[in-house]
């Protein structure tokens, strides 16, 4: 059994046949010729500390510098904890067809609803003819056909009404988010279902249903319609910025920071306040976590 396992562990992708995560990572480094004694010790005994950013503790235990631990940590992060995953669902290719398209024509945004995503229904002429020749059919048959025709007309009307509601919803979103379409995510404005519902003239639950799993193609890319609904923060000048725009600013601030002295959440909040946005440290922390960005301590380089 051991010989068979050793043979399997030589297969690609490297790391398959491992008995646990540590062995999986070690196999990948071994095949790449990058396995050194300290890296092996870290993977075997200190993966949890590494994941929690306890670089100083690992360095003290191994009697090496924090900088060296960080260098090895960066190598470990390039490894794949699930190497077989790359072969999962290779034939499961899905194409997204937007329900609405927004195009700019002569400085105006034109909204096009993709009717291909909705069924095209019509009433058969046979049943129309049956109603125009009542003498050929019994009263019972005539009543049955009439009821079915009314149901069909109601369904067709409902589908058309839903299409028009989708169009009106997209139009109102485009009107509200014109700056986003022109300049990008930092110019996204706060928007909620109630605001759009009032403009369209329907209940906000209707807007929620009509935007559910619906996508819109814009000059800035393809987005789910619900993407445009977000809370916001007021600036001292009275302008509002959506939470998505604030998140983009936080991401840019962190991208530009000195890796040796990364900014704390409090410093990021102060930077945003200097730009006129009244935001707390707690909100910055919340947005940073939602962006999947690590804490100051874990971003620090030595």
pLDDT, one tens digit per residue, over 216-227 is 999 999 999 999
In this structure, of 6-10, 120-124, 153-157, 293-297, the range with the lowest mean pLDDT score is: 120-124
Which structure tokens are listed for 142?
Answer: 């005539």
Mean pLDDT in residue range 84-103: 78
Superfamily of domain 234-299: Homeodomain-like (1.10.10.60)
- How confident is the model over 36-41, as a mean pLDDT? 93
- Of 24-33, 68-77, 118-127, 247-256, the one with minimum mean pLDDT is 118-127
- 125-162 pLDDT, tens digit per residue, is 877 777 777 677 777 887 888 888 888 888 888 888 88
Mean pLDDT, rounded, for 281-302? 92
Q: What is the pLDDT of residue 238?
A: 67
The more confidently predicted of residues 93 and 207 is 207
Per cent of the chain over pLDDT 90 is 56
Q: Is the confidence at residue 84, as pLDDT, over 70?
A: yes
pLDDT at residue 117 is higher than 70: no
Confidence at 118, pLDDT banded by 50, 70, 90: low
Cβ atoms of 192 and 199 closer than 8 Å: no
- For 158-301, list the strands marked E by DSSP: 215-218, 221-224, 232-234, 240-242
3-state class (DSSP) for residue 242: strand
Phi, psi of 38 (to 5 degrees): -70, -40
Q: What is the pLDDT of residue 288?
A: 95
Structure tokens at 167: 């169009």
- Please name the residue that has the structure tokens 């619906």: 214
Q: pLDDT-derived band of residue 175, with 50, 70 and 90 as boundaries?
A: very high
Average pLDDT over residues 190-210: 94
Domain residue extents for the chain? 2-87, 100-228, 234-299
Band the pLDDT of 298: cuts 50, 70, 90.
confident
pLDDT, the chain, mean: 88
pLDDT at position 89: 60
Given a cut of 80, whether residue 4 has pLDDT beyond it is yes
| pTM listed for this prediction | 0.65
Alpha-carbon distance of 226 to 9, in angstroms, equals 46
25-36: average pLDDT: 91
Return the pLDDT at 145.
80
Q: Which pLDDT value is given to residue 68?
A: 93
Tokens linked to 234: 């007021």
CA distance 65 to 69: 7
């Amino acid at each position: 059994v051991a010989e068979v396992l050793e043979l399997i562990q030589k297969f690609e992708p490297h790391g398959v046949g491992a008995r646990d995560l540590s062995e999986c990572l070690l196999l990948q480094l071994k095949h790449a010729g990058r396995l050194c004694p300290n890296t092996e010790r870290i993977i075997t005994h200190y993966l949890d500390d590494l994941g929690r950013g306890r670089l100083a503790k690992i360095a003290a235990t191994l009697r090496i510098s924090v900088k060296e631990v960080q260098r090895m940590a960066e190598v470990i992060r390039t490894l794949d904890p699930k190497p077989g995953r790359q072969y999962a669902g290779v034939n499961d290719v899905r194409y997204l067809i937007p329900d609405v398209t927004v195009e700019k024509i002569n400085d105006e945004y034109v909204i096009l609803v993709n009717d291909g995503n909705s069924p095209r229904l019509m009433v058969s002429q046979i049943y129309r003819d049956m109603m125009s020749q009542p003498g050929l059919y019994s009263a019972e048959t005539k009543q049955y056909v009439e009821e079915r025709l009314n149901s069909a007309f109601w369904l067709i009307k409902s589908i058309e009404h839903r299409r028009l509601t989708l169009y009106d919803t997209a139009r109102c979103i485009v009107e509200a988010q014109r700056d986003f379409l022109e300049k990008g995510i930092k110019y996204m404005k706060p928007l909620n279902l109630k605001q759009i519902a009032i403009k369209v003239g329907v209940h906000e639950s209707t807007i929620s249903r009509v935007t559910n799993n619906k996508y819109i193609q814009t000059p800035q890319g393809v987005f789910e319609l619900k993407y445009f609904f977000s809370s916001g923060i007021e600036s001292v000048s009275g302008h509002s910025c959506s939470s998505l725009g604030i998140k983009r600013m936080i991401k840019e601030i962190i991208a530009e920071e000195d890796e040796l002295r990364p900014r704390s959440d409090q410093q990021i909040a102060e930077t945003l306040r200097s730009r006129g946005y009244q935001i707390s440290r707690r909100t910055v922390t919340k947005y940073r976590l939602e962006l999947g960005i690590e804490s100051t301590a874990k971003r620090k380089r030595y």
